[in-house]
Amino acid sequence: MLKNEKAGYLYILPWLIGFIVLTAYPFINSFYISFTNYDMINESKFIGLENYVNLFKDADFIKSMGATFKYTFLTVPLQLAFALFVAFILNDKLKGINFFRTAYYVPSLLGGNVAIAILWRFMFQPDGFINRFMGIFGIHPVAWLSTPGGAMTVVVLLKVWQFGSAMLIFLAALKEVPGDYYEAADIDGASKPRQFWSITIPLITPTIFFNLTMQLVNAFQEFNGPYLVTGKGPLNSTYLASMFIYDHAFKYFHMGYASAASWVLFVIIVAVTLILFGTQKKWVYYSDGGGK
């Protein structure tokens, strides 16, 4: 370890300046703005809790929080379960594993691109690819984009489809599980599903925890998918909190109101994360070293 203090500061200086100017200051400022009626035109005035009070009376906001919760609690478990399941199948030494690993990662890689959102919107048109595909099996066309449930399904599917990066992280964790654990279980006659539940899952709980936290924080802030594919959706069914905040901030320039909304979302994310950390002791098993 180099003990040259000055040099140490020097190297992190750009980051430190950036942290103060581009992260810490905006963070505090946003809290302050949330107590004002700032709208980019008129002089900013301190109005106390008025924005927050109004938010909880705003049916659009309440609805958007509901949609955000629905979206988060549908996508995160589905995506993680799917990622884990596929990683488990991929973990054995099968021929062509690299091909599949690649194939499953491609959607994660491209998912953020507007092009994919366009494709999604297009596939779920009334006479689009999905409905015609289901038609082959005699299933009636579904009004994907014009019913609340349909629209939510479409954006949830878009997210779940991008399970690749979570899968890669799981795959790395599965590789760390010692093979002799399974051999011992084989000799004891434990079935594969049994082994999965009693050996695999407990040993990779730190990774599940990490993935879960990351995905939750991201899902609560999701913007691109719904904004591009369904917009607000029928009856605002896919009007997520981040879209509400975007509209109020950058369309109507209600900066105070939008900041307050972003703080409500922030507090909810922090609360959910803290609850998750609180439950950690009950189900996350760190090996001797105390985890990563």
Helix (H, G, I), strand (E, B) or coil at 190: coil
The token duo for 8 is: 């140490």
Q: Would you say 107 or 148 has its CB closer to other proteins? A: 107
Q: How wide is the angle at C-alpha 102 spanned by C-alphas 98 and 106, nearest 5°?
A: 175
Of 127 and 288, CB closest to other proteins? 127
Give strand pairing partners of 46.
Answer: 36
Structure letter (DSSP) for residue 140? P
Nearest residue (CB) to other proteins, 63 versus 101: 101
Question: CB of 174: closest distance to other proteins in angstroms?
Answer: 11
CA triple 226-227-229, angle to 5 deg: 60
Give the nearer residue to other proteins in terms of CB position, either 56 or 223.
223
Beta carbon of residue 129, minimum distance to other proteins (angstroms, whole number):
6
In angstroms, give the least distance from the CB of 23 to other proteins: 6
In whole angstroms, the minimum distance from the beta carbon of 136 to other proteins comes to 8
Report the SS3 class of residue 46: strand
For other proteins, give the closer residue by CB, 192 or 283: 192
Q: Tell me how far, at minimum, the Cβ of 3 lies from other proteins, in Å.
A: 6
Cα–Cα distance for residue pair 188/2, rounded to 1 Å: 52
**The token pair that represents 187 in the structure block:** 């000799």
Identify which of 166, 156, 140, 134 has the alpha carbon closest to the alpha carbon of residue 229: 156
Pair of tokens at residue 269: 């994310």
Collapse the DSSP code of 3 into the 3-class scheme (helix H, G, I; strand E, B; otherwise coil) and give the result.
coil
177 φ, ψ (degrees, to nearest 5): -70, 120
CB of residue 74 vs other proteins: minimum separation in angstroms?
A: 14
Backbone phi, then psi, for 197, in 5-degree steps? -75, -35
| Cβ 35 to other proteins shortest distance, Å | 13
Report whether 181 contacts 199 (CB < 8 A).
yes
What SS3 class is residue 36? strand
